[in-house]
Amino acid sequence: MKFSKMHALSNDFVVINNIKQNHYLDKNIIKKLSNRYTSIGFDQLLLIELSNNKNIDFHYRIFNSDGNEVNQCGNGARCFAKYVNIKKLTLKKNICISTNTNIIYLKILENNKVCVNMGIPLFDPKSLPFLGKLKNNNYSLFFNKKIIKFDIVSLGNPHCIIQVNNIFTTPVKLIGSFIQNHKLFPNKVNVGFMEYINSNNIKLRVFERGVGETNACGTGACAAVAVGINKKLLSNKVKVNLIGGSLNIKWKGDNSNIFMKGDAHYIYDGEIDL
């Protein structure tokens, strides 16, 4: 199987062109391929497929390192755009791709930058889904004798956003694992820890569903900004500072689309005997 290794803010991917080859990868194979010690290693695996719709350029599938398929990945979308551009699968700078749940619009910019239209953030608990109830204008869970308040939003995948005083002193793995696997999130959830700097800047760490903490999460950055704008903490243009680098997020609020701009980098091509 031929593949390419790519990264966006150190969130790393294996990209497989399933247009020119036709590989079926089951959950166990994906888990083996994701192992950083005995195989290639990656946070997510991305499949490029033909679209059945003449108005859509490609179909995009995403698998976490645990082998489970998910419906959205913002950093992966930027790498997708970079890949089809450098491999000349299309000459377009504006690309339309489908996922299992929605349509994404990508714009290839200069200096390895890609802008992604991530769609409309959804705050309805059913969109995640989330089975809890809103109390006193807050969602909350009891953990280690403390109440953790959080917000929820879906961007094609589910997000729980917790505002913290310091992302580096917060036990991200401990809290993230607890919330991610809580019964109120039947499909599990990505957990973002947001530190407010000012109305145009936040810091963010994300404990991703099926992966653990990653160096960056594009949908997580959009989710945190959407929550911050909804709570009137943030302006319409926000720089999100993640472990692996920064993303620029724009959102006008309400039922408008949210936009993400950031880097995407090609590393190498390889092939592996399955």
pLDDT class of 98 with cuts at 50, 70, 90: very high
pLDDT of residue 101: 85
pLDDT of residue 60: 93
CA distance 237 to 112: 21
Q: How does pLDDT run across 117-144, given as a tens digit for each residue?
A: 999 999 999 999 999 998 878 899 999 9
In this prediction the pTM is: 0.94
**Pick the catalytic residue: 79, 115, 160, 217?**
217
pLDDT of residue 68: 95
Q: How does pLDDT run across 27-56, given as a tens digit for each residue?
A: 999 999 999 999 999 999 999 999 999 999
> For the chain, which domains are there?
2-119+263-268 (3.10.310.10), 125-261 (3.10.310.10)
**Pick the catalytic residue: 73, 79, 115, 222?**
73
Q: How does pLDDT run across 157-173, given as a tens digit for each residue?
A: 999 999 999 999 999 99
Contact between 35 and 41 under an 8 Å Cβ cutoff? The reply is yes
Mean pLDDT along residues 111-116: 94
pLDDT of residue 250: 98
Q: How many CB atoms lie within 10 A of CB 183?
A: 7
Contact between 240 and 205 under an 8 Å Cβ cutoff? The reply is no
Residue 115 a catalytic site member: no
